[in-house]
Amino acid sequence: ALQLRRSPGEVCFPGGKSEASDKDEIDTALREAQEEVGLQPEKVEVVCRLMPGIDKMNHLVTPVVGFIEDTFQATPNPDEVSEVFVVPLEYFIKPSKYKALSYKTSSGFLTLMHCFIYDDQEHKKSFKIWGLTAHFAVFLALVIFGERPTFEVDYDLDNLISSSENNFINLYASIYERKKSNL
């Protein structure tokens, strides 16, 4: 939604800060999906958690992946969500509109930022998917399809999981070193 304090008008997956009542990241993800788009937790078959990422505010973000019925009809909370749309996962390895930007994080770590433009025929509208949302979508597509994308990625595709762990450790280490030097 445009009135959000953080990332107004940007495309993102449901999510947010954990609350004291959340047992873990899965509880947080399910609660946020229910609050934002009306997805009932019992309608989700949680499959896994992916390698965490760090957002532009240096918060740890852990993606939770689950299956839902294709008949699910979102009921967006207008205070948080202006539109809901569906993108085929394969789009994140074989996009029709894509560009990459070399990006230096606030901690000095150099990485690629993926930017996709998705033309949604149902809504007759284009959506820009970039940053951490695009990063998680690309990684999930790489895991699911096991194919080389039509663009460059920051992973060793022959050792996807270990290279994603190394990328995360390098990113986290660069943030930690920066925080330590500011003390």
pLDDT for 141-170, tens place per residue?
999 999 999 999 989 999 999 999 988 887
Mean pLDDT of the chain: 91
Q: For the chain, where do the domains classified as CATH 3.90.79.10 start and end?
A: 1-84
CATH class of residue range 1-84: alpha beta
* Percentages of the chain per state (helix, strand, coil), in multiples of 5: 35, 20, 45
The average pLDDT across 44-51 equals 96
**What pLDDT score was predicted for residue 119?**
97
**What pLDDT score was predicted for residue 170?**
79
Conformation bin of residue 103: beta by default, left when phi > 0, alpha when psi is -120 to 50: beta
Give CA separation, 117 vs 41, 88, 114, 171, in Å.
30, 13, 10, 26
pLDDT band at 112 (very low <50, low <70, confident <90, very high): confident
